[in-house]
Structure 1
Amino acid sequence: MKINKHAGKKQAWHFMPEEKDYFIEKLTDELPVLRSTVNITQEDLAEAVGISRQTYNAIEGGKRKMSWNTYLALLMFFDYNPRTHIMIRRLEIFPEIMELQQSEL
């Protein structure tokens, strides 16, 4: 991963494809536990992140790979929830560089 610095602008992070794959796989593996922890149905979680229940079901079941945008939407959903905020960090699902930049805001 590299960080680009632009004069007068906030820093932006760019993940290599293999880094994206790593984080997507980690989140996919933990989706059932995370979803259970916040006590939300597949349908409600899918709606919250803007995908169909069928797509979410295929992702959670390992039949379909989630997109990076879906990963980010799910990550923000679980980050916002107090029950999973710390959990996604302990499971190394939340990229550390994003944590560092959040704290700078």
Structure 2
Amino acid sequence: MKKEHRVKKNEEISLIFKEGKSVANKQFVLYMLEKKDQNHLRLGVSVSKKLGNAVTRNRIKRLMREAVFQISKELKPSYDYLLIARIPSVELDFHEMKKSITHVFYRGYAFKKKGE
């Protein structure tokens, strides 16, 4: 995922928390904020230190970004997304993680409609 497609600044993350809507499942929490003037989606990922050491956290972040990248063509483009990993996500392999991430995006109605 390109750098301009990432949410990194603290002010942007705070805005997503404050004004966005959230959905969750057992492994992930998703915050979404619509940006009408934006023509591509942006993603921020967060993994707490409770989930493990730096190696484990970075692995989880890589897998999360790749899973979202693979489904990004089907997602609504004018949104900022913030994806937060919960403790059960540590034990997931890539395919289980992608399925869980797809589920949480589905719960948030983040997928494009058929005609879009």
Question: What is the TM-score normalised by the length of structure 2?
Answer: 0.25
Q: Which has the higher strand share?
A: 2
- TM-score, normalising length: structure 1: 0.27
Greater share of residues in helix: 1
* Larger relative contact order, structure 1 or 2 (CA cutoff 8 Å, min sep 6): 2
Q: Which structure's CA Rg is the greater one?
A: 1
